[in-house]
Amino acid sequence: MGIDIIGLIVGAVVTLVIFSYLLGDNVLYRWMLALLVGSGVGYVMGVVINEVLFDWFVAALAADSLATQIYYFTPIFLGILLLFRGFSSVKPLSPLSVIGNIPMGYLLGAGAGVAVGGALLGTLFPQVVATGAAVTLENPPWGLLRGVVLVGGTIAALLVFSPRPISINGEDGPWLPRVRHVGEFFIIVALAAAFAGAITTGLTLWVERWATVLRAALSFMGG
């Protein structure tokens, strides 16, 4: 009996215990949930420590030049400063938590910069182009209709989230509320599609797990 079998059996049992939530919340379900979260956190910690911190410290210590050392020790130093953020609840050390704002600012600034660039170049521009490119004369009329609906729906959905413009007469025009309603319809459709995808994913997982359980059972019984 190999470890695979053991792993397979353990997996099956855990799966069934998780499925017991259908009958109601119970202690076994909470144990398995805690097991999943704990194992995941533990694994993450192991990976971070092994593949990030340890290797980094080793590289920093093995650096032969000062520049290399500064290069490796600077992130370590900022990481240590970042740890002071956790002392905000500890009254004697709470004043030191301000020190952690330095690396926090670096992280936020660098991350925002990368994200903004990616959003502009990777999302906004391509999406706008793709929306316009949907209106094509290829494969008429459905291709054209599809493109028009795509563009119209995108615009209407954007108007739903956009702020209300200032009207001259104090009242909105007759077209704006109607466009908003159209956009709300597209949003509803999109959310419904997302919900359907979530159901499909869940069912897929359901099926896959039962398949695993059956397979394990068959193999256990079949030897």
From the CB of 99, what's the least distance to other proteins, in Å?
A: 22
Cα–Cα distance measured from residue 63 to residue 220, given in angstroms and rounded to the nearest whole number: 54
- Residue closer to other proteins, measured from CB, 97 or 212: 212
- Residue closer to other proteins, measured from CB, 50 or 167: 50
- Residue closer to other proteins, measured from CB, 67 or 166: 67
Closest by CA to 96, choosing from 105, 107, 83, 109, is 83
211 within 8 A of 191, measured Cβ to Cβ = no
- Residue closer to other proteins, measured from CB, 83 or 203: 203
State how far the alpha carbon of 82 is from the alpha carbons of 2, 41, 56, 171, 219, in Å: 45, 20, 17, 52, 51
Cα–Cα distance measured from residue 3 to residue 66, given in angstroms and rounded to the nearest whole number: 48
- Residue closer to other proteins, measured from CB, 62 or 93: 62
List, in sequence order, every beta strand (DSSP E) within the chain: none
Cα–Cα distance measured from residue 21 to residue 29, given in angstroms and rounded to the nearest whole number: 6
From the CB of 89, what's the least distance to other proteins, in Å?
A: 18
Q: Which residues bind other proteins (CB under 8 A)?
A: 19, 22-25, 36, 40, 43-44, 47-48, 51-52, 55, 59, 110-111, 114-115, 117-119, 121-123, 126-127, 129-130, 190, 193-194, 196-201, 203-212, 214-215
219 within 8 A of 8, measured Cβ to Cβ = yes
